[in-house]
Amino acid sequence: MAKKTKEQARKIRHYRVRAKIAGTSERPRVNVFVSNSNFYAQIIDDNEGKTLVSSSTLTLKLNGSNIENAKKVASDLAKKANEKNIKNIVFDRGGYLYHGKVKAFAEILRENGLEF
Do 17 and 77 contact (CB within 8 A), yes or no?
A: no
pTM of the full structure:
0.88
Instruction: Report the pLDDT value the prediction gives residue 56, as an integer from 0 to 100.
Output: 97
Q: How confident is the model at residue 100 (pLDDT cuts 50, 70, 90)?
A: very high
Radius of gyration of the chain (CA): 14
Is pLDDT at 69 greater than 90 in this prediction?
yes
Q: Could you tell me which residue, 6 or 45, shows the higher pLDDT? A: 45
- In this structure, are residues 29 and 22 in contact, taking their beta carbons and an 8 Å threshold? yes
Instruction: Check whether 23 has a pLDDT greater than 70.
Output: yes
Residue 66 φ then ψ, to 5°: -125, 180
Sequence-ordered alpha helix ranges (H) in the chain: 6-18, 67-83, 101-111
